[in-house]
Amino acid sequence: QVQLVESGGGLVQAGGSLRLSCAASGRTFSSRTSGWFRQAPGKEREFVAAISWRADSTNYGDSVKGRFTISRDNAKTTMYLQMNSLKPEDTAVYYCAAARPYSSTYEYWGQGTQVTVSS
């Protein structure tokens, strides 16, 4: 069982930065690929970024490449999303997720944190 709790969301002006954190409980988090997703009102959930359990591989959605950076600290069972050069279209609820071991299928989700970017 893995529980995920996001934090760090808020209101920021366009061009600004935010750092999201995802604190995980459960010993298996460190062995799972983990990722960030987001959902804006009236839109489908969108993949943002993912990181392998060893943090030796990362993957980003096209809309955030070059602006967002995903990282993790397995010793602290915490994952991060550094978001720079934020745009109004980045406004959404951001969710962290953990995949099944040795899989890219996500099975655990956090409750989400709101990010609002004003123009």
Q: Which range is least confidently modeled, 36-40, 79-83, 98-102, 112-116? A: 98-102
| pLDDT number for residue 107 | 93
β-pairing verdict for 113-118 and 34-39? unpaired
| pLDDT number for residue 103 | 84
Whether 79 and 22 have beta carbons less than 8 Å apart is answered as yes
Collapsed DSSP state (helix, strand, coil) of residue 63:
coil
Q: What are phi and psi of 88, to 5 degrees?
A: -55, -30
β-pairing verdict for 113-118 and 10-13? parallel
Mean pLDDT of the chain: 95
Residues 49-94 have pLDDT tens digits of: 999 999 999 999 999 999 999 999 999 999 999 999 999 999 999 9
Query: Which residue has 């969710």 as its token pair?
Result: 95
Q: Measured between alpha carbons, how far is 112 from 6 in angstroms, rounded to an integer? A: 6
Using pLDDT thresholds of 50, 70 and 90, give the confidence band for residue 13: very high
